[in-house]
Amino acid sequence: MPSSSCRVLLSGASGFIAAALVPELQKQGFEVFQLVRGAAREENQIAWDPIQPLSPKQVSGFDTVIHLAGEPIMGRWSGAKKRRIRESRVLGTRHLSDALAEAAERPRVFLAGSAIGYYGDRGDEVLLEESAAGQGFLPDVCREWEAATQAASEAGVRVVHLRTGLVLSSQGGALGRMLTPFRLGVGGNVGNGRQWWSWIDMADQVGAILHILQTESLRGAVNLVAPNSVTNAEFTRTLAGVLHRPAIFPVPAFVVRLVFGEMGKELLLASQRVEPAKLLGSGYRFRYSGLRASLQAALE
């Protein structure tokens, strides 16, 4: 059995970020164990239910814990959907944090998922990690989500909140959903196109997580976005250009609200101009700081 310094406990292993992260962790020499819902079917799996307390014995002996699990936020937000979004993040994080705090062998670092939805709809304001939280369902969830790590932090674990933006990968996420209409030539601006979209290439999402693991000075909120946010209109033009397709079919804001309801307002129409101040300040070098290069690499 490898030493605890080589062991990583990961939740959300079925997600597209984890799919890119796990091979890189293994290249670095980590042995990756997974928290999985339902029965554990492999030796490296640990069964858990995010809305139920977790035994400290189950999570003892790991050097690193990376918590990425959560109900997908895409889709119309019914009352039941909003409850699942909140509970899967807040209760799951709280139960994991409580167990880590009480574990006989606590981890050195706990990387907990979060999102730039924390900031809410902020127009042209430049948002840093110290910026206040916004108003709305997503900011409320993100505040509670981050606060749920308190037990681990108070127990001396280095806690980092991964405030992730729009992750660019052809394998999933928002870009994966956008490709079909854009390839068919029916893509276009969302709303007036002036809202800021803060994005990050999947290679940098993974690279930033590995950098954070190795950088003891990083703790608390860290914005995982590229240095150059773009407006939705610029994102649309760039994606269409890379695909060599027109982008002449905008989706008016009232249609977004009609079709997607609250989710459309807070996720598609909200403006978040986020800067990765802590990553840059700690010496992280982005592989992709320009949108076109990122999209070209993702789609080649």
Percent pLDDT > 90 in the chain is 90
Least confident segment among 37-41, 87-91, 136-140: 37-41
Average pLDDT in the 239-247 region? 95
What does the pLDDT look like over 247-285, one tens digit per residue? 999 999 989 998 889 999 999 999 999 999 999 999 999
Residue with tokens 């990968």: 169
**Which of 102, 104, 20 minimizes the C-alpha distance to 66?**
20
Encoded amino acid at 162, one letter: L
Average pLDDT in the 89-117 region? 98
Residue spans of the domains in the chain: they are 4-168+200-225+273-287
Answer yes or no: is pLDDT of 197 > 60: yes
pLDDT higher for 39 or 133?
Answer: 133
Burial class from Cβ neighbours inside 10 Å (0-12, 13-18, 19+) for residue 79 reads exposed
Percent pLDDT > 70 in the chain is 98
Band of the pLDDT at 130, cuts 50, 70, 90? very high
Band of the pLDDT at 5, cuts 50, 70, 90? low
Fold for 4-168+200-225+273-287, please state it: Rossmann fold (3.40.50)
| Residue 231 β-bridge partners | 196
CA distance 275 to 228: 8
What's the confidence (pLDDT) of residue 265? 94
